[in-house]
């Protein structure tokens, strides 16, 4: 039977043949997660995803969330799988078992997350945001706060959110106007309005815990005066029981293009002056807390987008093998030639090959970022720890910005493979396009990701992050150079990597000069080419493993391994030449977009 | 006040400064359409579009079409503007006034169509398809058929459709199974099922005329045995009055990603054996008739997609000038620096500049194709006529395939400029994305367009079409070389054009060799780079006019003309380097997508 949601063989390849995650079990922290356990965990995740979550995707989209008199009702079909997520302890896969987590390596959790999010990520957001909010409590909370909130969150009994955005403070968080007024007893009255709050109000849990960014009365303007507060929907008594409603009012939900199953709420805090919050972490250090959580949140968004694309891809492969339409190109003139499966048409193959190579490259990249986080946790030397942390920091904007861009492209190709049927709601492809689209916007638009990459990450530690990454890529290239089949692709990637280094130097310098605006007009193209090179890197790495594995591969694995080499070949010969062209444009840094008179944009 | 739907200044520029459509009035056929009349026509179209059609866009999407017991109800808000379309004689703008048309040049009709389709193209499809069906009757019908049907169609009293697709015959029309059984009286009983029929059933007109592709009993298999029939919803008596229901049964409408205002119907013909049709044109010549209409239909789809993008662009410009968010990049470290309009951020400018240059390039290309059709009608020499017809044939797959691809990209950028708001239904941007998406699929998927370009058009008349196009582009380059500001861009385009010629030669040869499958796997990238070069051509042409005009421009026009030069500069320096990279990949013609084992695509 055809696979659904994702390709297990490929996931296993990344986990066990590329990253060897079983090796992590040699370290105390992950001692329980040997290869066998990892496989069992992923089996369970797959079963839950395919049998219980996937059937909710279309209905969740059609029914959506209903807002009435301050209450949000989620689709009825969500209730059972949410209970199962809790039972299976899937809300906090990677967190401390003492607080209700499963304690698994992040790399392994990526595979489970791929299944879950590919099945229905609008549904998964209720759990995903809970996990993120819990991490804030775990990292910045007092013991009392952890005891009162954390276990209920990590077990999914209560859910969590993140209250950042306000009508005038979107990308520019520093302008937020939500106020916190000290009550003298250590608590604060919170007053303000927050918008675009995913899972901000719903009926899946008995309480919702809102970490809220607000400004304590008298605190400085801008980001320096922002503090983080813990604001539950219902107040929590010291014995852990629920107390009165905390004046957190849902005043509406957004009508959106997609993710209809997730409630995007406008929350009005303290309409009756009765919204009480407690400080989470230190005064005026709210932004720092947010930044620490940002990597995780952005990686999750990359995963959400990616999971849409992997589902779209596997659907397309299955469809293209079954759908009969048109004669084979070499038999176009034979009127009675049989119609063939569309996978035999070169243009359909071009689309599938494009999807395949991006999906594989993105999968490896996302799992790799998770693995770097694991390594940062378990390696002994401080130097290595720093290296892995740096790689994560550098790769996050790519794992969010580039990955969601390409994931959206893949979803669009996935619709195109289906032809007219792809545009109808009879098939899942159009929903995957709509759901995927928001991942390019929220959690920092992809433009913001590009600014982060060029403006912050590139120069961090005097460029050490970039040097480390180039070192890793070069190591892959050098291995590949010694292998017969992949060797030419290694050389193509090397050329692109060198050019990329040149572009990074050039933009880095320009950004420090009077050409700063021109340079930043190329931040996005720069993220784009960095992503291309990372894709090629991952595909070359995979192909090198595959070439070696082919020597003694079982028959059933031959097509898989050969397919790995084909992906690298396709990407290096078809995409990288375009990447080089893009790099040329970056090096030229044309100033038109910056110089043009505002009045020349007619509106 | 900000403009809506589209930029009139730019439309006027294309019509009067680039194409000089007023000159057409020197020919008898278009004698009535001097510049003044053209401007009046477009004023009227704009007023109708902005005041009457645009207000139906969102509601048409939200309410959609309702199917119940074989009947389709369109959104109530459509009724009035449809009457106004009829009153204003907008259904057949370019057709013979004797049959109810306005007889205007196609180039001029493009501007009106841009306003109408940008306002709500799902609504406009009821009129657009009527016009197409009418053209079939006009071209292939007998005098009797014209008298009975045509005037009612061109005036919009009756609407029209096109019944091609069947469940097993989509891109592969030749497999269609709808039967036509001769009745001995010159009429035929029609039996079969047709799907994806836009405007197939609705309540805007008293009758619907369906041109139907079907196979006469005993006719050959494949496309050679297909005939075209005229099948009205209600039979038409010889005196022109409506007679009994003609057994054309709507059995359902598609739930789709977008264009909810247009009913996409499944029609079952002859359930009771009472569906009667009459032959339109000759027996077994149905495909030829379809091919003759294809250019027009595909150009319309290019316009639909483009119109979405132009609306999205103008919305984005207006929004970016108004939306205040974030400090200026050079004042990032000043905590109390004022927030600025987002148009001041380099990355937003990159997006707007990208949108601007594509929208302008696409507008010129589409109007130019219309103008070539006009010229083919009015030039005296057969040679010139052939040249213009050839240019149309060659450019149609680009005007449909490339334009809708880029239009979709522009719409997606248009959502991105709005950030989170762009994903909500509070603003029009997300609907424009959804509506635009189908234009890449229907009327021949863009993959089919690419096959048409490479497989048919490239080799037509031994390559004369391509040579003619290259001649036109070269003429523009030569003019531009003599101008100070645009001269460097002329050289960049010349380089790309030469490379494109190389790619065309290479693919043409490969397609005739045993590398045919590899070659066709690059049909799509080839269409892509042809489109890029056409965009650069149009932008260079525009910039050359602008550079000359600047010498004596009025103050109010300076920003506009300078903006034209900026568009060419941006495109040639930012996009064309990437185009060159894509051409490199085409020349390399990597075989991975063709060679890969089907089993390597895991599903």
Categorize the per-residue pLDDT at A170 as very low, low, confident or very high, splitting at 50, 70 and 90.
Answer: confident
Q: Which of A438, A580, A592 sits opposite B570 (nearest CB)?
A: A592
Q: Inter-chain contact A171–B326, Cβ cutoff 8 Å?
A: yes
**Is the CB of residue B388 less than 8 Å away from at least one CB of chain A?**
no
In a domain, A397, yes or no: no
Catalytic-role residue among B166, B360, B443, B547: B443
A3-12 mean pLDDT? 97
Bridge-based pairing state of the strands B226-232 and B324-327: unpaired
Nearest residue in chain B measured CA to CA from A264: B424
Task: Convert the pLDDT of each residue in A455-489 to its tens digit.
Answer: 999 999 999 999 999 999 999 999 999 999 999 99
Number of residues in chain B:
603
User: Of the candidates B132, B203, B141, B191, which has an alpha carbon nearest to the alpha carbon of residue B166?
Assistant: B191
- The tokens describing A88, both together, are 């299976």
In a domain, A441, yes or no: no
Give how far Cα A483 sits from Cα of A486, A551, B148, B165, Å.
Answer: 6, 12, 74, 50
Task: Convert the pLDDT of each residue in A382-401 to its tens digit.
Answer: 999 999 999 999 999 999 99
Give how far Cα A499 sits from Cα of A401, A495, A580, B225, B373, Å.
Answer: 21, 6, 7, 57, 46
Q: Are A400 and A298 in contact (CB under 8 A)?
A: yes
Examine the domain organization and report whether B124 and B108 are in the same domain.
yes
Residue ending a domain, choose from B284, B314, B339:
B284
Which of left, alpha, beta for A153 (phi over 0: left; psi -120 to 50: alpha)? alpha
Q: Which of A258, A430, A603 sits opposite B2 (nearest CB)?
A: A603
CB atoms within 10 A of CB A151: 18
Task: Convert the pLDDT of each residue in A558-597 to its tens digit.
Answer: 999 999 999 999 999 999 999 999 999 999 999 999 999 9
Is the pLDDT reported for residue A168 higher than 90? no
Q: Any residues with CB less than 8 A from the CB of A358 and at least 6 apart, and which?
A: A309, A406, A407, A409, A410, A535
| Secondary structure class of A441 (helix, strand, coil) | coil
pLDDT of residue B422: 98
The single residue listed with the structure tokens 């250019």 is B295
CB atoms within 10 A of CB B561: 22
pLDDT of residue B344: 97
**Is the CB of residue B585 less than 8 Å away from at least one CB of chain A?**
yes
Q: Are B153 and B181 in contact (CB under 8 A)?
A: no
Q: Inter-chain contact A592–B582, Cβ cutoff 8 Å?
A: no
**Is the CB of residue A152 less than 8 Å away from at least one CB of chain B?**
no
Q: Inter-chain contact B425–A335, Cβ cutoff 8 Å?
A: no
In a domain, B74, yes or no: yes
Q: Are A5 and A54 in contact (CB under 8 A)?
A: yes
Examine the domain organization and report whether B18 and B143 are in the same domain.
yes
Q: Are A392 and A465 in contact (CB under 8 A)?
A: no
Mutation pick from B174, B316, B346, B517 vs chain A, by most beta carbons of A within 10 Å, is: B346
User: Of the candidates B323, B440, B432, which has an alpha carbon nearest to the alpha carbon of residue B54?
Assistant: B432
Q: Which of B347, B446, B516 sits opposite A447 (nearest CB)?
A: B347
In a domain, B348, yes or no: no
**Is the CB of residue A175 less than 8 Å away from at least one CB of chain B?**
yes
Q: Are B303 and B114 in contact (CB under 8 A)?
A: yes
Examine the domain organization and report whether A120 and A226 are in the same domain.
no
Q: Inter-chain contact B347–A559, Cβ cutoff 8 Å?
A: no
- The tokens describing A36, both together, are 């066998």
User: Of the candidates A113, A88, A59, A68, which has an alpha carbon nearest to the alpha carbon of residue A203?
Assistant: A68
**Is the CB of residue A333 less than 8 Å away from at least one CB of chain B?**
no
Q: Are A432 and B257 in contact (CB under 8 A)?
A: no
CA pair distance B261, A45, nearest whole angstrom: 41
Categorize the per-residue pLDDT at A171 as very low, low, confident or very high, splitting at 50, 70 and 90.
Answer: confident
Examine the domain organization and report whether B477 and B516 are in the same domain.
yes
Residue ending a domain, choose from A154, A176, A194:
A154
Bridge-based pairing state of the strands A208-216 and A159-160: parallel
Write the ipTM.
Answer: 0.97
Q: Inter-chain contact B577–A575, Cβ cutoff 8 Å?
A: no
Phi, psi of B229 (to 5 degrees): -125, 155
Q: Which of B348, B559, B597 sits opposite A600 (nearest CB)?
A: B559
Q: Distance between terminal CA atoms of chain B?
A: 54
Q: Any residues with CB less than 8 A from the CB of A558 and at least 6 apart, and which?
A: A550
Q: Are B100 and B90 in contact (CB under 8 A)?
A: no
Q: Are B135 and B290 in contact (CB under 8 A)?
A: no
CA pair distance B517, A350, nearest whole angstrom: 11
User: Of the candidates B322, B309, B274, B600, which has an alpha carbon nearest to the alpha carbon of residue B439?
Assistant: B309
Q: Inter-chain contact B600–A422, Cβ cutoff 8 Å?
A: no
Q: Which of A433, A569, A596 sits opposite B592 (nearest CB)?
A: A569
Residues of A (256-275) whose Cβ lies below 8 Å from B: 256-258, 264
Alpha helices in A64-189 (DSSP H): 79-87, 106-140, 143-145, 151-154
**Is the CB of residue A167 less than 8 Å away from at least one CB of chain B?**
no
Alpha helices in B142-264 (DSSP H): 143-145, 151-154
Q: Are A269 and A190 in contact (CB under 8 A)?
A: yes
Phi, psi of B275 (to 5 degrees): -95, 115
Task: Convert the pLDDT of each residue in B459-480 to its tens digit.
Answer: 999 999 999 999 999 999 999 9
Beta strands in A237-286 (DSSP E): 242-245, 248-253, 264-269, 276-279
Query: Computed from CA positions of residues A133, A135, A139, A145, in that sequence, does the dihedral angle turn out positive or negative?
Result: positive
Counting the structural domains of chain B, the total is: 3
User: Of the candidates B248, B290, B382, B300, which has an alpha carbon nearest to the alpha carbon of residue B116?
Assistant: B300
In a domain, A385, yes or no: no
Examine the domain organization and report whether A477 and A490 are in the same domain.
yes
pLDDT by 10-residue block (mean), chain B, 603 residues: 94 98 97 97 98 98 97 98 96 93 97 98 95 94 96 96 91 92 97 97 98 97 95 97 98 98 98 98 93 90 98 98 94 86 98 98 98 97 98 98 98 98 98 98 97 95 96 98 98 98 96 95 98 98 98 96 98 98 98 97 89
User: Of the candidates A296, A397, A298, A407, which has an alpha carbon nearest to the alpha carbon of residue A362?
Assistant: A407
Distance of CA B214 to the CA centre of its chain: 26
Q: For this structure, is B443 an active site residue?
A: yes
Chain A residues close to B10, C-beta within 8 Å: 602
Q: Any residues with CB less than 8 A from the CB of A121 and at least 6 apart, and which?
A: A128, A259, A304, A307, A308, A435
Task: List b or e across A362-395, with b for residues whose CB sees 16 or more CB atoms inside 10 angstroms.
Answer: bbbbbbbbbbbbbbbbbeeeeeeebbbbbbbbbb
User: Of the candidates A222, A201, A204, which has an alpha carbon nearest to the alpha carbon of residue A213?
Assistant: A222
- The tokens describing A414, both together, are 């996935």
**By percentage, how much of chain A surpasses pLDDT 90?**
95
In a domain, A144, yes or no: yes
| Secondary structure class of B182 (helix, strand, coil) | strand
B126 to chain A, closest Cα gap in Å: 19
Which residues face A279 on adjacent strands? Answer: A229
Give how far Cα B569 sits from Cα of A7, A66, A69, A305, B533, Å.
Answer: 45, 49, 55, 34, 14
Examine the domain organization and report whether B65 and B203 are in the same domain.
no
| Secondary structure class of B503 (helix, strand, coil) | helix
Vertex B576 angle, CA B571 and B579, to 5° = 135
Vertex B537 angle, CA B536 and B539, to 5° = 65
Q: Inter-chain contact A601–B171, Cβ cutoff 8 Å?
A: no
Containing structural domain, residue B276: 160-284
A358-366 mean pLDDT? 98
In a domain, B295, yes or no: no
Is the pLDDT reported for residue A428 higher than 80? yes
CATH classification of the domain holding B482:
1.20.140
Bridge-based pairing state of the strands A276-279 and A159-160: unpaired
Examine the domain organization and report whether B531 and B547 are in the same domain.
yes
B516 to chain A, closest Cα gap in Å: 8
CA pair distance A273, A42, nearest whole angstrom: 47
**Is the CB of residue A337 less than 8 Å away from at least one CB of chain B?**
no
Examine the domain organization and report whether A15 and A138 are in the same domain.
yes
CA pair distance A115, A482, nearest whole angstrom: 35
CA pair distance A405, A399, nearest whole angstrom: 10
Beta strands in B183-330 (DSSP E): 187-198, 208-216, 226-232, 234-236, 242-245, 248-253, 264-269, 276-279, 324-327
- The tokens describing A567, both together, are 């992906």
CA pair distance A150, A374, nearest whole angstrom: 22
Task: Convert the pLDDT of each residue in A289-334 to its tens digit.
Answer: 888 788 999 999 999 999 999 999 999 999 999 999 999 999 987 8
A243 to chain B, closest Cα gap in Å: 34
pLDDT of residue A524: 98
pLDDT of residue A334: 83
Alpha helices in A512-574 (DSSP H): 516-520, 523-550, 555-570
Phi, psi of A293 (to 5 degrees): -90, -10
Nearest residue in chain A measured CA to CA from B254: A424
Residue B31 C-beta-side C-alpha neighbours within 13 Å: 2
pTM for the model: 0.98
Examine the domain organization and report whether A149 and A167 are in the same domain.
no
Q: Which of B426, B521, B596 sits opposite A347 (nearest CB)?
A: B521
| Secondary structure class of A575 (helix, strand, coil) | helix
Q: Inter-chain contact A566–B595, Cβ cutoff 8 Å?
A: yes
Which of left, alpha, beta for A341 (phi over 0: left; psi -120 to 50: alpha)? beta
Q: Distance between terminal CA atoms of chain A?
A: 54
Examine the domain organization and report whether B105 and B193 are in the same domain.
no
Q: Inter-chain contact B577–A597, Cβ cutoff 8 Å?
A: no
- The tokens describing A511, both together, are 């950004």
Q: What is the mean pLDDT of chain B?
A: 96
Distance of CA A316 to the CA centre of its chain: 22
Q: Are A372 and A388 in contact (CB under 8 A)?
A: yes
Task: Convert the pLDDT of each residue in A219-265 to its tens digit.
Answer: 999 999 999 999 999 999 999 999 999 999 999 999 999 999 999 99
| Secondary structure class of A430 (helix, strand, coil) | helix
CA pair distance A383, A380, nearest whole angstrom: 9
Examine the domain organization and report whether B18 and B150 are in the same domain.
yes
In a domain, B354, yes or no: no
pLDDT of residue A332: 83
Task: Convert the pLDDT of each residue in B263-295 to its tens digit.
Answer: 999 999 999 999 999 999 999 999 988 887 889
CA pair distance B13, B321, nearest whole angstrom: 23
Residue ending a domain, choose from A154, A169, A197:
A154
Count how many pairs of residues, chain A against chain B, have C-beta atoms within 8 Å. Answer: 330
CA pair distance A456, A511, nearest whole angstrom: 11
CATH classification of the domain holding B170:
2.40.110.20
Nearest residue in chain A measured CA to CA from B311: A603
Examine the domain organization and report whether A55 and A173 are in the same domain.
no
Tell me the angle at which helices A576-588 and B576-588 cross, rounded to the nearest 10 degrees: 160
- The tokens describing A429, both together, are 């492809």
């Amino acid at each position: 039977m055809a696979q659904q949601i994702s390709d297990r063989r490929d996931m296993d390849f990344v986990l066990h043949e590329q990253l060897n995650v079983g090796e992590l079990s040699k370290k105390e922290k992950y001692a329980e997660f040997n290869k066998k356990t990892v496989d069992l965990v992923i089996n369970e995740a797959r079963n839950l995803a395919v049998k219980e979550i996937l059937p909710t995707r279309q209905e969740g989209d059609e029914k959506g969330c209903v807002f009435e008199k301050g209450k949000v009702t989620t689709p009825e079909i969500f209730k059972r799988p949410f209970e199962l997520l809790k039972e299976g302890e899937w809300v906090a896969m990677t967190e401390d078992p003492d607080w209700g987590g499963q304690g698994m390596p992040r790399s392994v959790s990526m595979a489970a997350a791929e299944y879950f999010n590919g099945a229905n990520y609008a549904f998964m957001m209720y759990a995903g945001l809970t996990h993120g909010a819990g991490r804030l409590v775990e990292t910045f909370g007092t013991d009392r706060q952890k005891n009162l909130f954390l276990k209920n969150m990590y077990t999914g009994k209560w859910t969590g959110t993140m209250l950042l955005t306000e009508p005038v403070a979107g990308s520019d968080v520093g302008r937020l106007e939500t106020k916190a007024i000290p009550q003298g007893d250590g608590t604060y009255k919170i007053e303000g309005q927050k918008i675009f709050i995913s899972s901000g109000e719903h009926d899946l849990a008995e309480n919702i815990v809102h970490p809220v960014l607000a400004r304590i009365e008298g605190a400085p303007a801008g980001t320096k005066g922002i503090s983080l507060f813990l604001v539950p929907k219902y107040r929590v008594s010291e014995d852990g029981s629920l107390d009165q409603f905390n004046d957190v009012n849902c005043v509406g939900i957004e009508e959106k293009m997609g993710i209809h199953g997730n409630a995007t709420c406008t929350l009005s805090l303290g309409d009756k002056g009765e919204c009480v919050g407690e400080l989470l972490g230190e005064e005026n250090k709210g932004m720092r807390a947010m930044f620490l959580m940002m990597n995780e949140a952005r990686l999750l968004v990359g995963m959400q987008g990616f999971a849409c694309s992997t589902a779209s891809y596997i659907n397309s492969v299955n469809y293209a093998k079954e759908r009969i339409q048109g004669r084979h190109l070499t038999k176009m003139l034979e009127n009675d030639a049989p119609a063939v499966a569309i996978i035999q048409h070169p243009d359909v193959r071009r689309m599938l090959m494009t999807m395949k190579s991006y999906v594989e490259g993105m999968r490896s990249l996302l799992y790799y970022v998770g693995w770097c986080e694991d390594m940062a946790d378990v390696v002994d030397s401080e130097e290595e720890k720093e290296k892995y942390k740096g790689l994560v920091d550098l790769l996050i904007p790519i794992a969010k910005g580039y990955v969601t861009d390409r994931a959206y492209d893949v979803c669009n190709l996935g619709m195109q493979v289906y032809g007219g049927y792809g545009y109808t709601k009879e098939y899942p492809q159009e929903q995957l396009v709509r759901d995927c689209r928001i991942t390019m916007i929220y959690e920092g638009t992809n433009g913001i990701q590009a600014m982060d990459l060029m403006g912050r990450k590139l120069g961090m530690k005097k460029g050490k992050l970039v040097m480390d990454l180039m070192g890793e890529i070069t190591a892959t290239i050098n291995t590949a150079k010694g292998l017969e089949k992949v060797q030419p692709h290694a050389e193509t990637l090397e050329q692109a990597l060198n050019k990329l280094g040149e572009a990074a130097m050039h933009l880095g310098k320009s950004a420090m000069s009077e050409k700063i605006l021109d340079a930043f007009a190329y931040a996005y193209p720069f993220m784009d080419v960095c992503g291309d090179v990372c894709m090629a890197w991952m595909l070359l790495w995979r192909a090198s493993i595959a070439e070696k594995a082919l020597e003694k591969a079982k028959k059933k694995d031959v097509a898989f391994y050969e397919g790995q080499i084909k992906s690298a070949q396709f990407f290096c010969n078809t995409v990288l030449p375009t990447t080089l062209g893009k790099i040329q444009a970056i090096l030229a840094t044309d100033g038109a977009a910056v110089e043009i008179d505002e009045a020349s944009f007619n509106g």
